Structure 1
Amino acid sequence: MHFSESDWIACCGSSKFAKEMAKVRPFKNLTKAIEMSRQIWWNQVDVPGWLEAFRAHLRIGVLSSKSTIDWCAEEQATALSSANDRALKDLAEWNQLYESKKFGFVFLVCATGKSSSEILQFLKGQITNRLLVELQVAANEQQKITKLQLSKLVSQNTAPSGDKNTSKLSLLE
């Protein structure tokens, strides 16, 4: 079994990223795949490609479909478990301000291990950024998310023997 472009796009959301990852496979191991993903993201994917990846994300705290829940719930688990109705309302309001009134793209944060209040504080801090600065911040957050998704993709396809070194790395082909 080989990872397809659709597998790569599920990790990042950018078709350019997915095509480039498909071109340079196979990877010796997960570390090499992550290194290549960084190189491709920063050196081959342009701003429209970044924006395409950003559009693939729901607003933080919003989980609607089964596939989205499967990919995002773990990342957002801490934030969602710590969020009360007021926190979710605040996140929704600040997300709206960020996206509609300030930057034109969804607020991105690698939410793993962050509480809803930490995310809200980070979001409020980003509002004061200039667009070029925020594009860089969002691209950095996207890269963190991509790394997690690549790790998840590989771990879901790991050999059941329990030996960490026997993952089906041919899946990275």
Structure 2
Amino acid sequence: MDLQRFNALPSQEAERELLSCCSAPRWARKVAAGRPYASLAALQAAARSALDDADLDAALDGHPRIGDRGASGASRCEQSGVAAAGAGVLSELEEGNRAYEQRFGHVYLVCATGRSAEDLLATLQARLGNDPATERGVALAELAAINEIRLDRLVTPDPPA
């Protein structure tokens, strides 16, 4: 789909497409209501400004753990750097995910696109030192980065074969 087609979708369809990027209904409604967008950059800027703390819990519910071999769709693609990790790193990620969830009460959310398992593990370990309020802000910024990438994929037509 391209941006023009996205702009022309009925509201409910646009929201459904946006929910494939981020599972926060309030955010999807707000971004859909802001159409039409003149450019991808305008869409991404609107999406970033529409995102707030109230969306984080709903969005977190739509994200698998980093390193979850059962991840599908966009998450699987975004976590492709984890696929090549050795058993030791995967075990440390699993342990780190548990510690993170115990500390913060939700999955470790990080923009994983283009990053190795070792890098994601180091980031997880560093973020375990955050206080809950700081970590919530970090998770929201990571969600915004994920959304930007997914919106790009949503409205940028595939190059011709």
TM-score under structure 1 normalisation?
A: 0.81
- After TM superposition, list the pairs within 5 Å mapping 1:1-173 onto structure 2: 2=9, 3-41=13-51, 45=52, 47-64=53-70, 68-81=71-84, 83-99=85-101, 101-155=102-156, 158=157
3-state DSSP of counterpart to 1:12: coil
Give, in whole Å, the separation in 1 of the partners of 2:50 and 2:54. 14
Deviation at 1:73, TM superposition (A): 2.3
1:171 counterpart residue number: none
Unaligned 5+ segments in structure 1 are 163-173
Deviation at 1:161, TM superposition (A): 6.2
TM-score under structure 2 normalisation?
A: 0.86
Deviation at 1:50, TM superposition (A): 1.1
Deviation at 1:79, TM superposition (A): 2.5
Give, in whole Å, the separation in 2 of the partners of 1:96 and 1:77. 21
Contact 2:60-2:106 at 8 Å conserved across structures: yes
Unaligned 5+ segments in structure 2 are none
Give, in whole Å, the separation in 2 of the partners of 1:57 and 1:20. 21
- The count of corresponding residues between Structure 1 and Structure 2 is 151
Contact 2:60-2:109 at 8 Å conserved across structures: yes
Give, in whole Å, the separation in 2 of the partners of 1:92 and 1:21. 34
Contact 1:63-1:72 at 8 Å conserved across structures: no
